[in-house]
A and B are shown apart, each in its own frame.
Chain A
Amino acid sequence: MAKSLQDISLDGLWNNNPALVQLLGLCPLLAVTGSVVNALGLGLATTLVLTGSNFSVSLIRNHVPDAVRLPAFVMIIASFVTVAELLMQAFTYELYAVLGIFIPLIVTNCSILGRADAFACKNPIIPSVIDGFMMGLGFTVVLCLLGAMREILGQGVVFSNMQLLFGPDAEHWKIVLFSNYPDFLFAILPPGAFVAMGLLIALKNVIDKRIKDAAARVEKVPTEAVSKRVRVTGKIS
């Protein structure tokens, strides 16, 4: 019954996406997606924590009694969050300062504890690591999409301040889509994040429905053809 690695990856990125389907970790999701760089920074940190915690939890899964598993998981997650925090302080200090409290708060992100308890503590190391990484990636992609939507709508630019994450070379990555754009505060404020998030979820549901309908059509066609075929040659066995 073990899932293939491909299924695990697909689950994390699409079918069971932590942000769009499980709706976990909404607090940082809505709070820091004001711009792509913030979203990417938080997404990468979360991915790191998720992968690391899934790895460690899977490693000790046969040695921790059920009764104390949650405190143990939280300790592991907290350690990885501290690592991520220190790494960000060391290498991208400005971004760390922008994201502020939301980096330590990764520890309370339900999707991390959720994956540890629902997946990593029941599966071997490799699937757990893949699961953690893909869930993190799915989360990051949604964060970046939200960040881009809100940055474009809110300020009329996209990829601003990328130098916070990628060094001084990235300063001119900023694309000004509309010059002389009046700041659309609603998109920058949290209500805009809720609306954008709702639109993304709706979009995913529409795509899922299209895929399902298309699959249903493909299945339907041959059965109709078979039932209507009139046999004119060969033997009837």
Chain B
Amino acid sequence: MALLTLSSPHAHGSNSTSKVMLTVILATLPGLAVTTGLFGFGTLVNLLLASVTALVTEALILKIRKRPIGFFLRDYSALLTGVLLGLALPPLAPWWITVVATAFAIIFAKQLYGGMGNNPFNPAMVGYALVLVSFPVQMTTNWAASSQMGVDPAGLGDALNAIFGGHVSDAFTGATPLDAYKHQIAAKTAEEVLKDSTFNGFLNGGWAWVNLAYLAGGIFLIWKRIISWHIPVSMLTALALCSLLLGWDSDMYTPLSLHLLSGATMIGAFFIATDPVSAATTPRGRLIYGAGTGIFLYLIRTWGAYPDAVAFSVLLMNFAAPFIDAYTQPRTYGHAKAARGLKKPGAK
């Protein structure tokens, strides 16, 4: 059968890898702006540092691997890894945390597996998980306090001093709402916990604004057809369902509003779980993948040792992505469905 399709001027998509990556980076800008406005200049400095580290490491490894450097740097995937890490790391994290996380992400999670398109795990999250496991003190207690918590956010000088000089003033740091709620709810009622300055302002001390900004960026990406709706929607639905069914009592568990609009929920759902390389690719597979991520996110947040769990849940589902894809492959038109798994009784 000839596969030539001649009629109609079939429009070509103009999306190249570099354009996709640049659009994703563009879509993080609202989040970046809000984070910088509320938490000070730390995020901006981190982001620049992570981006430079990512590009330099990528170029270095490409040189060692004798691959065309310019070609691969221009697809901006390394830059995106750097940008996502810069946004995900605590704003006032010491510079070496950012450098270690980014270099590990590019070298070990991406290039050692064969570079762009071959990494089974999301590089940014591998880097994040590495520093989260290795430096728990710096990673979980050094979050910047937001202006809505009654603190002036760190200015450029303070941020530079904290990141490169290691002088983190307590005035600029605070617990994250997820962390605070989880630890205080054991001894207090929901009403008492919410009196804490961490939860000042409109929904949880500025964190809701950050998440809403990423939500806006994510909707822009869906509108631009860069990502499909399947993963974010199923992930957020699964998270919400878990929270409603298992953690409905806000005197015992973190409430739904905090789950959805605090921590890394939105950046995770729209920017991290949707990584085209390491996520599942079939439509049904994406729904399963997203739901799995959401369920893990809830489980680890609620009963795990860490306050937030986007990195771990995404990495866990990365493991499962090839398996999910194999089982959810759509039937090719004109072919019988491929038989997979255990044989049904009676079938040949």
Query: Would you give the shortest CB distance from A16 to chain B, in whole angstroms?
Result: 26
Q: Is B138 in the interface zone, CB < 8 Å from A?
A: yes
Interface residue stretch chosen among B127-135, B149-157, B177-185: B127-135
- Interface size in chain A (residues, C-beta < 8 A): 9
Distance from B306 Cβ to chain A, minimum over Cβ atoms (Å): 13
A170 within 8 A of B: no
Tell whether, in the assembled complex, residue B134 and residue A186 are in contact, meaning their CB atoms are under 8 Å apart.
yes
- B136 cross-chain contacts in A, Cβ below 8 A: 185
B135 in contact with A182 (CB, 8 Å): yes
Any A CB within 8 A of the CB of B108: yes
CA distance A182 to B136 in the complex (A): 11
Chain B CB within 8 A of A189 CB: yes
Q: Is A83 on the interface with B (CB-CB < 8 A)?
A: no
A182 touches B130 (CB 8 A): no
User: In the assembled complex, which residues on chain B have CB atoms less than 8 Å from the CB atom of A189?
Assistant: 133
Asked whether any CB of chain B lies closer than 8 Å to the CB of A102, the reply is no
Q: How many residues of B contact A (CB 8 A)?
A: 7
Instruction: Other than A182-B135, A187-B134, give 13 A-B pairs with Cβ distance below 8 A.
Output: A182-B138, A183-B134, A184-B134, A184-B135, A185-B133, A185-B134, A185-B135, A185-B136, A186-B133, A186-B134, A189-B133, A191-B133, A195-B108
Bound CA span A136–B133, Å: 34
| A103 CA / B135 CA spacing, docked (Å) | 31
Spell out B's residues near A (CB within 8 Å).
108, 130, 133-136, 138
> How long is the Cα–Cα vector from A49 to B134 in the complex, in angstroms?
36
Shortest Cβ distance from residue A115 to the other chain B in the assembled complex, whole angstroms: 32
Chain B residues within 8 Å of A185, by CB = 133-136
Interface flags, A151-187, vs B, CB<8A=1, else 0: 0000000000000000000000000000000111111
Q: How far is the CA of A63 from the CA of B108 in the complex (A)?
A: 52
A184 to B130, CA, bound (A): 10
User: Which residue of the partner chain A has the closest CB to B135?
Assistant: A182
Q: Which residues of A contact B135 (CB under 8 A)?
A: 182, 184-185
Nearest residue (CB) in B for A182 is: B135
Q: Taking each of B108, B130, B134, B135, which has the highest tally of chain A beta carbons within 10 Å of its own beta carbon?
A: B134
Nearest CB in chain A to that of B136: its residue: A185
| Complex-state Cα separation, A187 to B130, whole angstroms | 10
In the bound complex, residues from chain B placing their C-beta under 8 Å from that of A182 are 135, 138
Asked if B130 contacts A186 (CB within 8 A), the reply is yes
CA distance A189 to B134 in the complex (A): 9
Cα A191 to Cα B121 in complex, Å, equals 15
Q: B138 — which chain A residues lie within 8 A by C-beta?
A: 182
Considering the complex of A and B, which 9 residue pairs feature the smallest CB-CB distances, nearest first?
A: A186-B134, A185-B134, A184-B134, A186-B130, A186-B133, A185-B133, A182-B135, A195-B108, A189-B133
Which residue in chain A gives the minimum CB-CB distance to B96? A182
Q: Whose C-beta in chain B lies nearest to the C-beta of A191?
A: B133
Q: How far is the CB of A152 from chain B (nearest CB, A)?
A: 15
User: A183, A186, A191: which has the most chain B beta carbons within 10 Å?
Assistant: A186
Q: Closest B-chain residue to A154, C-beta based?
A: B134
- Sample of 14 A–B contacts (CB below 8 Å): A182-B135, A182-B138, A183-B134, A184-B134, A184-B135, A185-B133, A185-B134, A185-B135, A185-B136, A186-B130, A186-B133, A186-B134, A187-B134, A189-B133
A182 to B93, CA, bound (A): 13
Question: CB-nearest residue of chain B relative to A188?
Answer: B134
Contacting residues, chain B, for A183 (C-beta < 8 A): 134
**Interchain CA distance A189-B135 in the complex, whole Å:** 12
Alpha-carbon distance A182/B142, docked complex (angstroms) = 15
User: In the docked arrangement, what's the CA distance between A109 and B133, Å?
Assistant: 30
**Which residues of chain A have C-beta atoms less than 8 A from B133's C-beta?**
185-186, 189, 191
Question: In this complex, which of A183, A184, A187 has the most chain B Cβ atoms within 10 angstroms of its Cβ?
Answer: A184
* In the bound complex, CA of A183 to CA of B135 (Å): 7
Q: How far is the CA of A183 from the CA of B108 in the complex (A)?
A: 20
Bound together, the chains give a CA A182 to CA B96 distance in angstroms of 10
Shortest CB distance B167–A (Å): 14
Give the distance in Å from the alpha carbon of A146 to the alpha carbon of B152 in the complex: 47
Closest to A192 in B: B134
CB contacts (< 8 Å) of B108 on chain A: these are: 195
**Closest CB of chain A to B327's CB: distance in Å?**
28
The complex places the Cα of A186 from the Cα of B139 at a distance, in Å, of: 14
The minimal Cβ–Cβ distance linking A48 to chain B, given in whole angstroms, is: 35
Cα separation A189 to B133 with both chains bound (whole Å): 9
Chain A residues with CB under 8 A of B130: 186
- Which residue in chain A gives the minimum CB-CB distance to B137? A182
A233, B279: Cα distance in complex, Å: 72
Q: Closest residue of chain A to B129, judged by CB?
A: A186
